[in-house]
Structures are given as structure tokens and as C-alpha cells.
């Protein structure tokens, strides 16, 4: 069991049911986490700045078609206040998250970022959906440090079904990640586990993709059905996948987290809120003991928090930020860990991947390495100071290195 574990081994672990063997997986993941990123748990203060969204994802409660939620967009003063709270609690990072909301304009957000950077020592992470190159460059130039954009699943057919394109504007998430990296952002991505139609082989491909992409952060959570969505209401159904359907259980999420830690030893991996939602008692702690090293406490003002309903019954929906802070502190200390200081970026980020102890290996049965290395590692650096020099990566024919990628993965999975 090591960082060069191949896809067959990953698949076998995903199917493993023997408790003693799984205990060994947890132990190895925890040991790797401790050796590579230490005992500090980094806290990122999450501020859900808007729940408007133009997209129609089949799984997400914020989808434009969900007319049952009241929409909000936080005021600049409210965002700054939440960020000040993050500083007061000693967090090193603030994460500004929203649906894909073009009401959050380029210049407004750039001003916001500049003000945050001026007034606080916080690292600023953005998680705002599939925005244009120009916007991403402007926000980077304003001082944003990181961007989170999950690819959700590497199965392109499944993704096309549940995450339809916006009109004829095709942008694929791996291409955007590549752009973000070229702009100098630390990049984060991730998946949902247990999506209808998602197979074991597909999750093994996702983990393979984590290995190959040079990601700084990797978020993994269970898919949680939302009754106000086509997928969650049963309106959108998928043909059965012959016993290959991955369950959306906490056990599957722990397996995916542990395997991800083994293939990407130095990544920042959160114990996600979705995981805490399906096991409110100790999902976070177990995630942190099986490979994770980050948590994202919610700093969204209470009056907005219940409206940011990506999925139902979200953990920490009614607790004040002060209460969550105390609760997390206690949970982290109970498992013998401590709260990390400072921004907590990926430590070895600037080293070549070989020196970070995790290398993309060439697997004869997988043709992903070449495609992916090209996808992310051979991009020439861009000057962020002048966004007008950027060309669009939303490829005109709707294809890109990354659009081709899941196909490659798929064909390999039947090999
Ligand atoms: N269940 C679990 N996670 C979800 N997300 C969106 N909808 C759901 C759901 N129903 C996740 C997606 C998205 C992140 C912000 O929330 O992975 O990228
Ligand atoms: Fe908003 Fe998917 S519905 S990003």
C-alpha cells in the first residue's frame, strides 16, 4: 500500500468490506497524513456570499430552477465583518463561496478582495463556479490566493447528464483548473461520492485523477439527495449499473479520503461539511483520523445560512459562529490534534512532484498521465497584472485537453 498504488489496487480498496483490513487502510492514511502535513488542523472560515446560481445542476439545491428558496447576496460590509470574525478566531483563510452568480461582478469582487487583503492577514480562497478567464485573472491580480472548483466526477457522460452546460457556452472544469494554475492560484478540486450512476471504477478514476493533477486541495463528500432537484426527487433516473453503483455512505467517503491521502500525501484534504452532515456525531473526527487535515467552519451570518441549501439538513445550520468555533476546538483537541496557525497553504507546493514523494506513474492500462500532465503542468505562466492579454480557454469547439480526459479514463476503465 503506497503512493504508487495502481488503479486495480484502488478499486480493490473501494470494494473492501473486511473491518480489519480497512483498519489498516485508516492507519496508513493517518500515518501518511501525520508524516506529510503534521497534526495541525487548518481552519478555513467559509462565507457563503450569494446563493444565486445560473446553472441547473441536477444535484444542487441552489440550481436556478429551484424556485423554493429565497435568494440573497451578502453586502460588502457583511462579508468584511465575517472575515474579521475569522481573524478573531485565529483562522488563516477566508473562503468566499457562491453559486455561479454574475450579479457578483468582476470589479465589485476585485474591490472586495483588495479590501480583505488590505485589512486582514487572511489568505483569500474563492469558490464561485465556472467564471471566465478575464474574471479569474482580475481577482488574482486583486490578491486572491486560491480557487476551489470540484470536477465532481471524472465520468464525462455522467457529468454531462447532471451538470448541463450553460446554453452553448461549453467550459470544462479541468480546463479552468489549468487556467487557474497558470494564473498562480493554489487550486482545489474534488468529487461527490455516491452519485446515481457513479460506479466503483469511476471513483477509482477520480482518485487516479487526483494523483495526476497537481492539486493543492482535494474535497470529497457524500452525495446527499435534495428533494428540490431532479436527481434528488427521482425525476432524473439512471439505468442500473449492475451492482457497480457506489453507495453514498460515510464508509465510502472515508475510503476515498484515505486513498486520496495515500496517492497525494501532501495535499490539503478537508473533512467536509457534507461528511459532517451524514454523521453529525463524529463524521468530522473520523474524516480527520482517516486522512483529512482541514476543516471549514461556517462563518455565514445565521440569517443567510439556512438559505444556502445545496443539500438538506446541513451540519451547523443553526449554530452561531462562536458556538461552532468552540465546538470544533473541542473536537480537534479530543482527537489529539491542534489548530493550525497561519494560512496553511500546501507546504511543498513549489517542489517538483517527484520531491514531494508522489509521482504520476505510467500505467500501461491508463493513458491519463500524458493527457493530464499536458492538461496542467505544461502551461506557460501568465502575467496576471494585465488581464487583457488573456485568450479564452473556453475552446470554441467545446473541447479541450480536459474535455478529452474523462473519455480516456472511461475507455481505460473497461480495459
Ligand atoms: N450533495 C452533496 N454535495 C453537493 N454539492 C452540490 N450539491 C450537493 C449534494 N446534493 C457539492 C458539489 C459542489 C460543492 C460546492 O457542493 O461538489 O462542488
Ligand atoms: Fe449552482 Fe450547480 S446549481 S453550481
Residue 357 burial by Cβ neighbours in a 10 Å radius (0-12, 13-18, 19+): middle
Pocket flag, ligand 2, residue 159 (CB < 6 Å) = no
Domain for residue 17, yes or no? yes
Q: Is residue 2 part of a domain?
A: no
Ligand 1 mean position, distance from CA 310 (Å)? 6
- Ligand 2: centre distance to CA 12 (Å): 32
Average pLDDT along the chain: 83
The pLDDT of 74-89, averaged and rounded, is 96
pLDDT tens-digit series, residues 141-193: 999 999 999 999 999 999 988 998 887 666 689 999 999 999 999 999 999 99
Q: Is 101 part of any domain? A: yes
Question: Which of 96, 192, 218, 273 to probe ligand 1 with, by most ligand atoms within 8 A of CB?
Answer: 192
Q: Is residue 1 part of a domain?
A: no
23: in domain: yes
What pLDDT sits at residue 321?
A: 83
Residue 406 sits at the vertex; the CA angle it makes with 401 and 410, to the nearest 5 degrees, is: 140
Phi, psi of 159 (to 5 degrees): -60, -40
- Kindly report, residue by residue over 94-147, the tens digit of the pLDDT: 999 999 999 999 999 999 999 999 999 999 999 999 999 999 999 999 999 999
Name the helix (H) or strand (E) containing 338: strand 338-339
Asked, for residue 395, whether it belongs to a domain, the answer is: yes
Per-residue pLDDT reduced to its tens digit, 272-283:
999 999 999 999
CB 59 less than 6 A from any atom of ligand 1 = yes
How many domains does the structure of the chain reveal? 1
Query: What's the predicted TM-score (pTM) here?
Result: 0.84
- Name the residue at shortest CA distance from atom 13 of ligand 1: 150
| Residue 270 falls inside a structural domain | yes
99 in the Ramachandran plot: left (φ > 0), alpha (ψ -120 to 50) or beta?
A: beta
Residues of the chain by 3-state class (helix, strand, coil), percent to 5: 40, 15, 45
Which cell goes with 248?
A: 453514498
The mean per-residue pLDDT over the stretch 288-296 comes to 96
- CATH classification at residue 307: 3.20.20.70
Range of the domain at 381: 7-413
The per-residue pLDDT for range 187-241, each reduced to its tens digit, is 999 999 999 999 999 999 999 999 988 899 999 999 999 999 999 988 888 777 8
Q: What is the CA radius of gyration of the chain?
A: 20
In a domain, residue 253? The reply is yes
pLDDT recorded at residue 239: 79
CB 406 within 8 Å of CB 159:
yes
DSSP symbols for 59-76: S-TT-TT-TTS---B--H
Amino acid at each position: 500500500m503506497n503512493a504508487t498504488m495502481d488503479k486495480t489496487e484502488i478499486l480493490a480498496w473501494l470494494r473492501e468490506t473486511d473491518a480489519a483490513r480497512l483498519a489498516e487502510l485508516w492507519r496508513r492514511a493517518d500515518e501518511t497524513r501525520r508524516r506529510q502535513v503534521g497534526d495541525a488542523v487548518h481552519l478555513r472560515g467559509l462565507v457563503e456570499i450569494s446563493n444565486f446560481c445560473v446553472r441547473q445542476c441536477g444535484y444542487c439545491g441552489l440550481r436556478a430552477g429551484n424556485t423554493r428558496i429565497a435568494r440573497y447576496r451578502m453586502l460588502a460590509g457583511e462579508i468584511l465583518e465575517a472575515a474579521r470574525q475569522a481573524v478573531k478566531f485565529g483562522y488563516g483563510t477566508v473562503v468566499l463561496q457562491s453559486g455561479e452568480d454574475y450579479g457578483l461582478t468582476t470589479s465589485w469582487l476585485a474591490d472586495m478582495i483588495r479590501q480583505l487583503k488590505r485589512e486582514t492577514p487572511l489568505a483569500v480562497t474563492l469558490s464561485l463556479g465556472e467564471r471566465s478567464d478575464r474574471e479569474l485573472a482580475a481577482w488574482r491580480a486583486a490578491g486572491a490566493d486560491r480557487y476551489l472548483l470540484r470536477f465532481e466526477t471524472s465520468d464525462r457522460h455522467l457529468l454531462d447528464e447532471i451538470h448541463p452546460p450553460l446554453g452553448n457556452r461549453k467550459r470544462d472544469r479541468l480546463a479552468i483548473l489549468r487556467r487557474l494554475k497558470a494564473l498562480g492560484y493554489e487550486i482545489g478540486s474534488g468529487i461527490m461520492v455516491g452519485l446515481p450512476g457513479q460506479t466503483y471504477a469511476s471513483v477509482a478514476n477520480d482518485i487516479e485523477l487526483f494523483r495526476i493533477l497537481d492539486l493543492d486541495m482535494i474535497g470529497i463528500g457524500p452525495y446527499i439527495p435534495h428533494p428540490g432537484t431532479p436527481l434528488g426527487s427521482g425525476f432524473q433516473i439512471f439505468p442500473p449499473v449492475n451492482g457497480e453503483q457506489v453507495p453514498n455512505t460515510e464508509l465510502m467517503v472515508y475510503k476515498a479520503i484515505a486513498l486520496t491521502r495515500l496517492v497525494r500525501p501532501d495535499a490539503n484534504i478537508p473533512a467536509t461539511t457534507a461528511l459532517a452532515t451524514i454523521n453529525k456525531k463524529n463524521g468530522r473526527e473520523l474524516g480527520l483520523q482517516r486522512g483529512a487535515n482541514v476543516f471549514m467552519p461556517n462563518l455565514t451570518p445565521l440569517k443567510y445560512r439556512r438559505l444556502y441549501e445545496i443539500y438538506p439538513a446541513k451540519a451547523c445550520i443553526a449554530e452561531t459562529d462562536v458556538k461552532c468555533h468552540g465546538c470544533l476546538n473541542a473536537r480537534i483537541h479530543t482527537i489529539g490534534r491542534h489548530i493550525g496557525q497561519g494560512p496553511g497553504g500546501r507546504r511543498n507546493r513549489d517542489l517538483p512532484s517527484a520531491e514531494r514523494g508522489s509521482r504520476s506513474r505510467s500505467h500501461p492500462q491508463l493513458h491519463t498521465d500524458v493527457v493530464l500532465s499536458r492538461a496542467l503542468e505544461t502551461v506557460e505562466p501568465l502575467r496576471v497584472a494585465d488581464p487583457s492579454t488573456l485568450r479564452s480557454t473556453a475552446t470554441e469547439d467545446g473541447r479541450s485537453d480536459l474535455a478529452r480526459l474523462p473519455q480516456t479514463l472511461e475507455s481505460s476503465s473497461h480495459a
